[in-house]
Structure 1
Amino acid sequence: MTSLQSSPVRRAAGRPGKGTARSDADLRRALATSRPLVPTATIGGAIAAGGPLLVCLAVAVVGWFLTDAGGAGSPSGALRVGAHGWLLAHGSSVAVEGIRITAIPLGLTFICGWVAWRVGHRVGESVSGHGPDADRIADGARDWTVPLAAALFATGYAVVAVVTSAVAATAASSPSVPRVVLWSVLLGGLVGGAAIAFGSGRAAIWLPVVPVGVRDAALVAGRILRLWALVSLVALLVAFVLDFSTAANVVSQLHADAGAVLLMTLVTLGVAPNAMLFSSSYLLGPGFTVGTGTTVSTSAVVLGPLPMFPLLAALPDQGAQPWWTEWLMVTPVLLAAYVAGRVQRDRPVLAWDQAAIRGCAGGITAGVGLAALTLLAGGAVGPGRLAHVGPYTFEVLLHAITSFGIGGVLGALAVCWWQRDGDGWVRTRLSAVRLPRRRD
């Protein structure tokens, strides 16, 4: 995080050689944090969008050479495939041989968001010298540096997205430009804007203004989501490893060479977050569908013909499920109770209502956030039955806010009771125990 310069430093920076001498380090710092705001933020947004785009284009060209050594198609076609993959990561639906694909590869979207954060953080450091300094901001002076930089950053990002859509579009593919622009604004404006706020040091001034209860609830929600993502990923990996022979059999039936296997692995990594959200929906109870008329849940599994994709080996066997799978729905309650208890231990509040509200609010917020992410996990991935694949989002919302909310309340209240009365209760019981005196 870049600290804002105080008033004396800025006055010295504005009058070099008049009273206050500056070292070379101070001069370099002043120049590095006072770059022109408009070009810096705009070009930063374009770089954040163009970096992952160039990687997608390069991977598509390499994949084209690996699959058929350039015997079919053309380099321009490979580049168009890479551009369509990048557009899919930004919410654009793309038609492939007349089949509309709407599912978003969230792994690639995550990479784009990470790049936007890193570039936005650098942009924030570069423009932190603009606007009022820390003293004036603390006194209530208006500071438009971050909003203006975030808007310019999102504009540069959206321009690259629109140009890519226009160049890569064909009459057959017809990508959705409005959705690409919307996602570009979200990634550039929200993710990039937040990174600019942290990089410029403004977030360190604004966050303490937020009420402590809101920050604590957000802390509980964030920790629940991170730990739940880890649990869902572990469950997915365990299911895949236990039936790895099926995945190997699928690869052998496809007669894939090393290049095709490499591309298949990259595609699998691109949809790994989607699969993790499918696993999350399964653990919560509602489950998901892998085609019209199918369902996968802890109580029953009904499957139909599936595409030859190795990751689908992680699906459970069709039919009635073992008795213990129903108990998996206890996992989110225990996890939320653990997280809320840890936060209560680290940041104790001795009032029962405050502890309960913090745990409940954090759990409900985590449930809403998980449902929002789950909404992005599904979509159309093929023709016919595969036009509807994904978790049951509304059921996930109900189960998540209930499980996380109840778990958060129970965990927070349990640790709060221990902090208020538990230690005294234990000391009272221990003091009641009298060891027999030793007689000489």
Structure 2
Amino acid sequence: MTSLLSAPERAPEGWVDPRSRRPLALLSLAGGVAAAGSVLLTCLGLAVTGWFLTDAGAHGLPRDALRVGAHGWLMAHGSGVSVRGTLVTVVPLLVTVLSAWATWRIGQRVGQAVSGHGPDADQISDGERDWTVPVSTFWFTAGYVAVATVTLALAATPATQPSGPRTVAWSVALAVLAGGSAIAVGSGRAAIWSAMLPGNLRATAAACRAVLRSVLLAALVVFLTALLLDVATAVNVLASLQLGTGEAVVMALVAVLLVPNATVFSAAYLLGPGFTVGTQTLVSPTLVVTGPLPAVPLLAALPDSGAVPAWAVGLVAIPPVAAAVGAALAQRRRPTLRWEEGALRGCAGGVAAGLLLGWLATVAGGAAGPGRLQVVGPLSSDVLVHAITSLGIGGLVGGLVMTGWQRRAARAAA
């Protein structure tokens, strides 16, 4: 069997790629350590900076600030933390996203470094087994988990009690999913493997990414619009806290860290089920019931408790429209003239995006404080059902509309 890809020119006999001389295990292990350590060091630096901004180092020691930064990194890996006896399990998704991005970028470099190991494209296409990516991913994951384990050992105290098993599980998931995929791309194996996949499967994956990106962007726009419309309330909240300049900067940084969480909350609101900001509360397009809220400027974006305006119900049309736009844009780059293919790509991509959005709704919330704040977050099970239905229908419509447009363009060209 010949290769599906054009093979590179053959190297002279006896020539050895210098990259293949580099030890795969050592390169991958160092890559995993760098992926975890880069974001960890950023968190530590921000924590120390915030410590100096708040009281110029008058209280506490640098190691206390470093421990806070380490706990922030651990919380982004699902560890949770106990603050004065109160468990806080909300995941700062921005740090998680940065960790995934750093893992992806460094994983690509590791993939490029180990690409000379194992069989070449012709040999892989002819059926020879290639363990380069799995072995590299194993050592990459080992390096990432080692950093997480050491951080737990140094930062954890009997008072904070971060969860070790959850941290390790999140670290393994990040390293395998983001790092392993990046290693496959960087080493060139992903291009070989994807060429063997059905075209509709690749088009469906592209539609899933486009739909999820489009829906989250629409949710972010709605959240920022609501915050800007009531920015006076946010300013009053900050003024009531009587913060100094340094403390206000730290508060703003914390608010930025929670913007991705707020975006997922906004998506849950647009889908219909909504979210809670405490026990016995609900924020949805049809009902808003809130109680006393903590002094957090981001909460100024919440609608007023009580009667809901009639136009708010129309906001549930935003997710399917955004899904239709995303599916159409994805199919524009991968055209088809068959109605069934356009429908399948759009609908399956929308359903897959709904599953991912339901998972995001699960991890975006959690316990945020004592008392009522032990229950904060989207109604994840309802969001999952609504997301699959809404985004699936929107993706189906977008796929069919783009298919019709492409068929018409093909007839005009003929």
- For the aligned pair, the TM-score class normalised by the smaller chain equals over 0.9
Asked if the contact 1:4–1:129 (Cα under 8 Å) also holds between the matched residues in 2, the reply is no
Gapped runs of 5+ residues in structure 1? 15-29, 428-440
Return the match for 1:319 from 290, 306, 310: 306
The amino acid of 2:28's aligned partner reads A
Asked if the contact 1:56–1:82 (Cα under 8 Å) also holds between the matched residues in 2, the reply is yes
- Evaluate the alpha carbon distance shift between residue 51 and residue 416 of structure 1 in structure 2; reply closer, same or farther with a 3 A threshold: closer
Is 1:45 paired with 2:32? yes
- Evaluate the alpha carbon distance shift between residue 320 and residue 148 of structure 1 in structure 2; reply closer, same or farther with a 3 A threshold: same
The whole-number CA distance in structure 2 between the counterparts of 1:379 and 1:286 is 17
Match in the other structure for 2:217: 230
Gapped runs of 5+ residues in structure 2? none
Return the match for 1:117 from 73, 82, 104: 104
Is 1:194 paired with 2:181? yes
Match in the other structure for 1:132: 119
Match in the other structure for 1:297: 284
Return the match for 2:166 from 179, 187, 192: 179
Match in the other structure for 2:398: 411
Q: Name the stretch that deviates more: 395-404 or 87-96.
A: 395-404
Question: Cα RMSD (Å) of the superposition?
Answer: 2.1
Match in the other structure for 2:192: 205
The whole-number CA distance in structure 2 between the counterparts of 1:164 and 1:415 is 50
The whole-number CA distance in structure 1 between the counterparts of 2:151 and 2:331 is 49
Asked if the contact 2:218–2:318 (Cα under 8 Å) also holds between the matched residues in 1, the reply is no
1:327-357 alpha-carbon deviations (Å, 9 max, x no partner) = 1111122222233334444433333322222
Task: Measure how far apart 1:127 and its partner are.
Answer: 0.8
Is 1:375 paired with 2:394? no
- Evaluate the alpha carbon distance shift between residue 261 and residue 12 of structure 1 in structure 2; reply closer, same or farther with a 3 A threshold: farther
Is 1:247 paired with 2:234? yes
Match in the other structure for 1:363: 350
Asked if the contact 1:90–1:179 (Cα under 8 Å) also holds between the matched residues in 2, the reply is yes
- Evaluate the alpha carbon distance shift between residue 131 and residue 264 of structure 1 in structure 2; reply closer, same or farther with a 3 A threshold: same
Asked if the contact 1:34–1:126 (Cα under 8 Å) also holds between the matched residues in 2, the reply is no
The whole-number CA distance in structure 2 between the counterparts of 1:228 and 1:253 is 35
Task: Measure how far apart 1:6 and its partner are.
Answer: 4.8
1:385-404 paired onto structure 2 within 5 Å: 385-404=372-391
Q: Secondary structure, in 3 states, of the residue corresponding to 1:42?
A: helix
Match in the other structure for 1:69: 56
The whole-number CA distance in structure 2 between the counterparts of 1:107 and 1:10 is 48
Asked if the contact 2:214–2:325 (Cα under 8 Å) also holds between the matched residues in 1, the reply is no
Return the match for 2:153 from 141, 155, 166: 166
Task: Measure how far apart 1:114 and its partner are.
Answer: 0.9
The whole-number CA distance in structure 1 between the counterparts of 2:47 and 2:259 is 19
- Evaluate the alpha carbon distance shift between residue 192 and residue 344 of structure 1 in structure 2; reply closer, same or farther with a 3 A threshold: closer
The whole-number CA distance in structure 2 between the counterparts of 1:41 and 1:309 is 42
Q: Secondary structure, in 3 states, of the residue corresponding to 1:409?
A: helix
Task: Measure how far apart 1:139 and its partner are.
Answer: 1.3
Asked if the contact 1:7–1:133 (Cα under 8 Å) also holds between the matched residues in 2, the reply is no
Q: Secondary structure, in 3 states, of the residue corresponding to 1:320?
A: coil
Return the match for 2:295 from 303, 308, 312: 308
Asked if the contact 2:276–2:375 (Cα under 8 Å) also holds between the matched residues in 1, the reply is yes
The whole-number CA distance in structure 2 between the counterparts of 1:418 and 1:56 is 48
The whole-number CA distance in structure 1 between the counterparts of 2:236 and 2:269 is 25
The whole-number CA distance in structure 2 between the counterparts of 1:219 and 1:398 is 22
The whole-number CA distance in structure 2 between the counterparts of 1:200 and 1:50 is 23
The whole-number CA distance in structure 2 between the counterparts of 1:170 and 1:178 is 16
Q: Secondary structure, in 3 states, of the residue corresponding to 1:70?
A: coil
The amino acid of 1:390's aligned partner reads G
Larger Rg: 1
The whole-number CA distance in structure 2 between the counterparts of 1:378 and 1:40 is 37
1:30-73 alpha-carbon deviations (Å, 9 max, x no partner) = 43564211111001101111111111112111211211122222
TM-score norm. by structure 2 comes to 0.94
Asked if the contact 1:61–1:78 (Cα under 8 Å) also holds between the matched residues in 2, the reply is yes
The whole-number CA distance in structure 1 between the counterparts of 2:244 and 2:410 is 64
1:137-175 alpha-carbon deviations (Å, 9 max, x no partner) = 121111101100001000010011011101111111111
Q: Secondary structure, in 3 states, of the residue corresponding to 2:82?
A: strand
TM-score norm. by structure 1 comes to 0.89
Task: Measure how far apart 1:246 and its partner are.
Answer: 0.8
The whole-number CA distance in structure 1 between the counterparts of 2:115 and 2:367 is 44
The whole-number CA distance in structure 2 between the counterparts of 1:379 and 1:10 is 60
Q: Secondary structure, in 3 states, of the residue corresponding to 2:288?
A: strand
The whole-number CA distance in structure 2 between the counterparts of 1:233 and 1:156 is 34
Q: Name the stretch that deviates more: 224-233 or 344-353.
A: 344-353
Return the match for 2:90 from 103, 120, 130: 103
The whole-number CA distance in structure 1 between the counterparts of 2:183 and 2:331 is 31
